[in-house]
Structure 1
Amino acid sequence: MTIKILNNQSRSRCKTILSAKLHSSSEQVRDAADIAKNISKVMMSSPQIVLDSALDQSGLRVTQEVAEEVLNRFRNAGLLAYRFFQWSEKQRHYEHSVRAYHVMIESTAKIKQYKLMWDLINSMRKKKLLNVETFCIVMRKYARAQRVEEAVYAFNVMEKYDLPPNLVAFNGLLSALCKSKNVRKAEEIFEKMRDRFVPDSKTYSILLEGWGKEPNLPKAREVFREMIDAGCDPDIVTYSIMVDVLCKAGRVDEALGIVRSMDTRVCKPSTFIYSVLVHTYGSENRLEEAVDTFLEMERSGVRGDVAVFNSLIGAFCKANRMKNVYRVLREMKSKEVTPNSKSCNIILRHLIDCGERDEAFDVFRKMMRVCEPDADTYTMMIKMFCEKREMESADRVWRYMRKKGVFPSMHTFAVLIHGLCEEGNTQRACVLLEEMIEMGIRPSGVTFGRLRQLLLKEGRDDVLKFLNEKMNLLVNEPLCD
């Protein structure tokens, strides 16, 4: 074997090539994000009837990365996402990725368009793109909608799609049921099929989490013991779930005892575990223990991430120690941990709850320079201004959110519609409700009921009938022709 020794010139040339490749890769990611943001702006500013032509005229080129980014942005607006999905499929030199199909399956299931969801699955089948994860998503979505039998059917039908169920699919079914609080059904299926699929540590961890959500601490402990007896060693995921279960059951000191008993040579406590402990101590007004646990984490050599810093921020907010909150933010900066939208949301929620609305708006403006606000951030600010009857400010935040390409959630629409109803501006409220429905977001009964009352009061039965028909179409009719 010949070992080639590089001279300085060769090393320099290699570094230049590597640097160029890395730069090119990061540029592509940035370009995809920028194009996706511009497409999102076109989608949010164009009437639905001319959306295809507006996207055509934009001249923006779709790649798989761009499409995935756009679909992720609109994953809560199934109708709008599907229209983009159909449009992008017609573009030259483009084919949907597995990830794009998966996001679309999630979006259609979320608005209960199950026929369309299965059409997408059949399309994947023709293109030989189906995998176990596809069916895990379907099971998860059915279970979340409390369609337990359909979730089990999705598991059983895999064989017909040339995908024989394996342990991953079995774990996927159990996980779907446990996360939707159907742990007893999951336990029943586990007992029936445990000989067919030999359980692993993940299987037991799923059941452990399920009983934790019930909540049923004795059953959770029983599963933990059964796991050990079956010869499955707990991994970091198992320990994380057990700590979370104990903390939710109000046994944070017992959870801390488990962490301290872990063999760090085999399994070192993670930042998630510490974030759960810090959060729980904070929520129990045990600020000193929250801080001590955070410091213990640092002493053990675990580098804090944004999640554990957020837990510490939450603990200080609960204790109304705002000086400490801002000190934590400075420490994050010194340790090169960038705050995220959740950091911002924790602080804003506390300030608004305390009536410190001017300071909340000041924090909002400052945090926008550090991190990208999400729909929850904008929703809080819009709600705050609506409650203050400052509708112009609420509308400015709404327009700014749209300009930034952040897609409004159902709650964002709801708080603005409620604010407009309080002001008696039914015309604008109706426009927003129609826009909401056209995007595939079904308004809650409370939101629709509030607007309905105003329309009946104003004798606008025609408008109410029109909105009712639109809502029924969204729920009962498939999105495809």
Structure 2
Amino acid sequence: MPWPSPFHYEQHSPAHSAHSPSSTPTISEGVFGRREGRDGKRKRRPTPRTPEAPASTSHDCTVLFSWTTPQQRCYCFSTMPQPRLASAILAAACMFRKPIALRHTLGVFGSCTPAVRHNASEMLPFLGLPPCLHQSALPRGHVLGSLRFCHASASESSSEVHASEILRILKSTGSSDNADLGGALRQFAENMDEDVVLKVLQKQRSNWQAALAFFNWAAGLPGYTHGSRAYTEMLDILGRMKKVRLMRQLFDEIPNERWEVVVTNRMFAVLLNRYAGAHKVQEAIEVFYLRKDYGFELDLVGFQILLMSLCRYKHVEEAEVLFREKKDEFPHVIKSWNIILNGWCVKGSMRDAQRIWNDIIASKVERDLFTYGTFIKALTKDGRIGSAVKLFNSMWEKGINPDVAICNCIIDQLCFKKRIPEALEIFGEMNDRRCQADVATYNTLIKYLCNIKRMEKVYELLDEMEAKGCSPNNRTYSYILKTTEKPKDVIALMQRMERTGCKLDSDTYNLILNLYVDWKYEKGVHQIWDEMERNGSGPDQRSFTIMVHGLHSQGKLDEALQYYTTMKSRGLISEPRTKILVKAIHMKKDGAVTEDQSANMTGKNLKLDPRSRLFHVHK
């Protein structure tokens, strides 16, 4: 017996937009109601009928969601009370495997096989639910099924809805501050708060004009005043777009009586960072000393933020001069030295980095792990692996235990220089000195061991990872997959991935697909292609590219063209090399058809091998 469905669906053609006053939908009968086909005629699906619904929408109806297809506009209504409506939505989600959302009561449901998280506190009524969901619960704002759907509480969803509508209006009215904006946004004036303002500004970071127009409009609303977060976000947007004059003007316009509430250390950090990013070094220094006028101390932390901002945008020389000039005002602690050292290392000036390193030693300031790690990384990037290893060993001798990041840096460079035995020796010392290796350590060793085909050692490290609870990831298995020579080896690795809880991502699927195509293993290609479609991991642009080029190399030109046609029909953009290849195929076949015409080709134009299951493409 089918589950009861309290939903009423109505479809309208795109000509009757939901935004026009004359397009108020009516409620039809049946689970899916009426459907308008391509021929313009009404069609009815053989689905269970629901109790007779009112002839038109009323205040007792709840619009659950709507969707649009090229042929129709669809709406879903319900007249049920909230408790029954909640369980009925859950039932429909399980039955139809469609993404159904009810924000204010249950959060968001996914479209996967029914599976409910058991850390819930609110019990759902059993009415209309399948037996597998009895004795289960779903908390407010949690996710059922696919994790691709976000969760939100009622208040969060309300602000999200307001922000989305405001963003739509901003997009339609343009990016300039005009009289139309105030009228279009008037409906949101009463419920405006800083959370909504912040969400809108964060979505308009690349459009400073629209963000500033909305910010100024909200500032003039009665009963609302911008807080520190809104001001800081707007200043950051202007600074990011190099509008430093407007940024400073907005900062100066903050009312004096609101300085204590609005102006914060975070705001000054944003100003310093954006002035440095605009290469306004003197202005950045002036803003730092402006802190005193707003009631903030000229402390060491603020000075270090200024140094970091200058170094981040390659003004290391100016930062070092300022650092040395203000020695009496701000003491030379190791963190300040590290900022200057890291600035020269990132800029790539090893001579200056070596000079700062020598100054640190001469200053008698105790070096920390960040000091060693910064300089060791700079030495390895400069190709001075011998000096880096010597400094690394001196850390052990002085009783300074390197952390895993420093060890990984040394191991990676030793492997890159084909000094793998030394890298394995350091790896062994890590275990002896209680420096726990992480997945990056193992991946580095496995990568280079796979390159030299030392597979026994690779699987030994893989077993060690699992034994120590350091779970291998997709990158770990990708290195090993590239060394496989037979399909059975790939299958064994996939089974191991499943056993260890490592789910295949799109890159790993494409790697396996590429291997199967090279081996001409049609059964495996078909299985991987179908599995990608089932899991939602593909096929993507890379998958189609692999098939087109692989089939071309095997001389199967018609099959390659069909995959290319399907890729174009799905809106995927092909690589330039693929376009060149398709042009060459057409020239070889008839010399007339171009690659753009291939997207309009139908299946009857292609001569497929009927004996092969491999080349069945799901459109």
TM-score (norm 2): 0.44
Displacement of 1:234 = 5.2
Letter in 1 for 2:447: K
Contact 2:272 2:284 in 1 (8 A): yes
After superposition, the C-alpha distances for 1:98-138 in whole angstroms (9 at most, x for unaligned) are xxxxxxx9xx9xx984623x35997xxxxxxxxxxxx9xx9
- Cα 1:320/1:170, change in 2 over 3 Å: same
After superposition, the C-alpha distances for 1:182-224 in whole angstroms (9 at most, x for unaligned) are 6669998997687377433431213433565xx5323x65344
- RCO (CA 8 Å, sep 6+): is it higher in 1 or 2? 1
d(CA) in 1 for partners of 2:432 and 2:155? 41
d(CA) in 2 for partners of 1:348 and 1:239? 36
Contact 1:341 1:374 in 2 (8 A): yes
d(CA) in 1 for partners of 2:431 and 2:415? 17
- Cα 1:88/1:391, change in 2 over 3 Å: farther
Q: Which runs of 5+ in 1 are unaligned?
A: 1-84, 91-104, 123-134, 154-163, 474-481
**What is aligned with 1:258?**
322
d(CA) in 1 for partners of 2:455 and 2:368? 38
Displacement of 1:306 = 0.4
> How many positions carry a matched residue from both structures?
344
d(CA) in 2 for partners of 1:402 and 1:187? 56
Contact 2:513 2:528 in 1 (8 A): no
d(CA) in 2 for partners of 1:423 and 1:368? 30
2:457 aligned with 1:403: no
Q: Among residues 279, 288, 301, which one is paired with 1:217 in the alignment?
A: 279
After superposition, the C-alpha distances for 1:155-193 in whole angstroms (9 at most, x for unaligned) are xxxxxxxxx985368658978x79xx9666999899768
2:337 aligned with 1:274: yes
**What is aligned with 1:341?**
404
d(CA) in 1 for partners of 2:400 and 2:120? 39
2:527 aligned with 1:468: no
- Cα 1:216/1:383, change in 2 over 3 Å: farther
Alignment of 1:196-345 (within 5 A): 198=259, 199-210=263-274, 215-218=277-280, 222-229=283-290, 231=293, 235-264=299-328, 266-282=329-345, 286-287=349-350, 289-300=352-363, 302-333=365-396, 335-345=398-408
d(CA) in 2 for partners of 1:187 and 1:121? 37
Q: Among residues 470, 473, 482, which one is paired with 1:421 in the alignment?
A: 482
d(CA) in 2 for partners of 1:419 and 1:363? 23
d(CA) in 1 for partners of 2:290 and 2:377? 39
Contact 1:313 1:325 in 2 (8 A): yes
2:150 aligned with 1:115: yes
d(CA) in 1 for partners of 2:348 and 2:326? 26
After superposition, the C-alpha distances for 1:319-376 in whole angstroms (9 at most, x for unaligned) are 5445543443354345543210111012112212222222222222212333122222
Alignment of 1:163-174 (within 5 A): 167=228
Letter in 2 for 1:467: M
d(CA) in 2 for partners of 1:288 and 1:315? 11
Displacement of 1:310 = 0.9
Percent identity over the alignment is 16
Displacement of 1:303 = 2.4
After superposition, the C-alpha distances for 1:216-240 in whole angstroms (9 at most, x for unaligned) are 323x653443443463665444443
**What is aligned with 1:383?**
447
d(CA) in 2 for partners of 1:405 and 1:294? 38
Letter in 1 for 2:526: D
**What is aligned with 1:443?**
505
Displacement of 1:313 = 1.8
Displacement of 1:466 = 1.8
Contact 1:183 1:211 in 2 (8 A): no
d(CA) in 1 for partners of 2:382 and 2:334? 22
Displacement of 1:393 = 2.3
Contact 2:446 2:479 in 1 (8 A): no
Q: Among residues 515, 522, 542, which one is paired with 1:454 in the alignment?
A: 515
Aligned with 1:115: secondary structure? coil
Displacement of 1:256 = 1.6
d(CA) in 2 for partners of 1:328 and 1:169? 47
d(CA) in 2 for partners of 1:273 and 1:339? 21
> 1 or 2, which has the higher strand percentage?
2
d(CA) in 1 for partners of 2:491 and 2:243? 48
- Cα 1:312/1:385, change in 2 over 3 Å: same
Aligned with 2:150: secondary structure? helix
d(CA) in 1 for partners of 2:430 and 2:474? 23
d(CA) in 2 for partners of 1:147 and 1:385? 48
Letter in 2 for 1:206: V
d(CA) in 2 for partners of 1:364 and 1:430? 27
d(CA) in 1 for partners of 2:437 and 2:371? 19
Q: Which runs of 5+ in 2 are unaligned?
A: 1-115, 122-140, 157-194, 215-224, 539-619
RMSD over aligned CA atoms reads: 5.3
Displacement of 1:284 = 6.0
**What is aligned with 2:419?**
356
d(CA) in 1 for partners of 2:483 and 2:465? 22
Letter in 2 for 1:423: T
d(CA) in 2 for partners of 1:374 and 1:356? 20
Displacement of 1:248 = 4.4
After superposition, the C-alpha distances for 1:264-311 in whole angstroms (9 at most, x for unaligned) are 4x5334434323433444466654543432343344453221011111
After superposition, the C-alpha distances for 1:441-465 in whole angstroms (9 at most, x for unaligned) are 7735x44322233345422313332
Displacement of 1:380 = 1.2
Q: Among residues 438, 459, 464, which one is paired with 1:374 in the alignment?
A: 438
> 1 or 2, which has the higher helix percentage?
1
TM-score (norm 1): 0.54
- Cα 1:210/1:461, change in 2 over 3 Å: farther
Letter in 2 for 1:449: N
d(CA) in 2 for partners of 1:435 and 1:121? 41
Letter in 2 for 1:260: R
Contact 1:386 1:416 in 2 (8 A): no
Contact 1:275 1:309 in 2 (8 A): no
Letter in 1 for 2:353: A
Please say which structure displays the higher CA radius of gyration: 2
d(CA) in 1 for partners of 2:425 and 2:371? 24
